[in-house]
Amino acid sequence: MPLLQVKNMTHFFGGLRAVHNYDLEIEPGQLRGLIGPNGAGKTTIFNLITGIYQPTEGEILFNGKNLVGLQSYQIAAQGICRTFQTLRLWRHMTVLDHVKLARYSKIHYGLIGAFFGTGQRHREEAESEKMAYDLLEMVGIGHVADQVVINLPYGVQRRVEMARALASEPQLLFLDEPTAGMNPEELVEMMEVIRRVRDELGLTIFLIEHRMKVVMDLCETIQTIDFGELIAEGTPEEIRSNPRVIDAYLGKEGIV
């Protein structure tokens, strides 16, 4: 059974058809890419699957359960977590708080614990703190745990988003342009982090990316969309030589 199955998903913004008859099947353990020109509807697809928008038509099944109509926090708690293209960090909070907060759905001490500081609360908070530190070490930013995110360099902020998404213990991770705005050095490090995350945590990853080098190196299967429609799906080699993809996105001249 595929981990995530999207069938015939269509979405309208008023009269504008942003996504049309989109299909997707992700098997556990895959690392897949989604490419396409600006405005093609890539981020909209992410937003639709993670519940930020509700699809006008179509079905989304995660582990066989329907996700359409659920709130974004319910979908996230079921195991689909994501990062954002434009960073969406909480500007007054520390790095450690970011990562701990993503464990919200794993907290069981309830309001009594929150108001009165019970033993169960201290245990759970200590547990999630330890896990948060482990994750921060894993993405290589353990040394900034106590700092407020707004003061950190861009590459580090990207990793905070990554660690935060991982803290919710997802099965499927959506990365929306994980290397956007990074310099070559940060880029290589980020690719390393993505590989590590997949190998060490056994995650399934679905990513949007504009840099062909990243997509071609990392992904096993790539989808290409244009004007909200799927125009090609296949291995990096197939995509690279697909005439429709070249026409719509890669361009006739040299590619990577």
Which residue from 114, 127, 130, 238 is in contact with another protein, where contact means CB under 8 A? 114
Name the segment binding another protein (CB under 8 A); options: 9-17, 105-113, 193-201, 230-238.
105-113
Using an 8 Å Cβ cutoff, are 66 and 121 in contact? no
Q: Which residue's CB is nearer to another protein, number 106 or number 211?
A: 106
Using an 8 Å Cβ cutoff, are 139 and 98 in contact? no
Tell me: does residue 73 bind another protein (CB under 8 A).
yes
Tell me: does residue 223 bind another protein (CB under 8 A).
no
Which residue from 121, 135, 179, 218 is in contact with another protein, where contact means CB under 8 A? 121
Name the segment binding another protein (CB under 8 A); options: 27-35, 120-128, 205-213, 244-252.
120-128
With CA atoms as reference, report the closest residue to 39 among 65, 11, 18, 12.
18
Which residue from 21, 28, 57, 107 is in contact with another protein, where contact means CB under 8 A? 107
What Cα–Cα distance (Å) separates residue 212 from each residue in 54, 89, 125, 179, 256? 30, 26, 41, 11, 6
Residues 140 to 169 in contact with another protein, rule: CB under 8 A: 164-165, 168
Residues 11 to 50 in contact with another protein, rule: CB under 8 A: 50
Q: How far apart are CA 5 and CA 132, in angstroms?
A: 30
Question: Residue 107 has what DSSP assignment?
Answer: -
Q: How far apart are CA 89 and CA 224, in angstroms?
A: 29
Least distance in angstroms from the C-beta of 27 to another protein: 24
Q: How far apart are CA 144 and CA 109, in angstroms?
A: 28
Which residue from 20, 42, 82, 159 is in contact with another protein, where contact means CB under 8 A? 82
With CA atoms as reference, report the closest residue to 45 among 82, 71, 73.
82
Least distance in angstroms from the C-beta of 54 to another protein: 13
Torsion of CA 223, 225, 229, 230, to 10 degrees: -20
Please report, as a single letter, which amino acid is at residue 167: A
Binding site for another protein (CB under 8 A): 50-52, 71-73, 76-77, 81-82, 84, 88-93, 97, 100-105, 107, 109-111, 113-117, 121, 125, 128, 164-165, 168
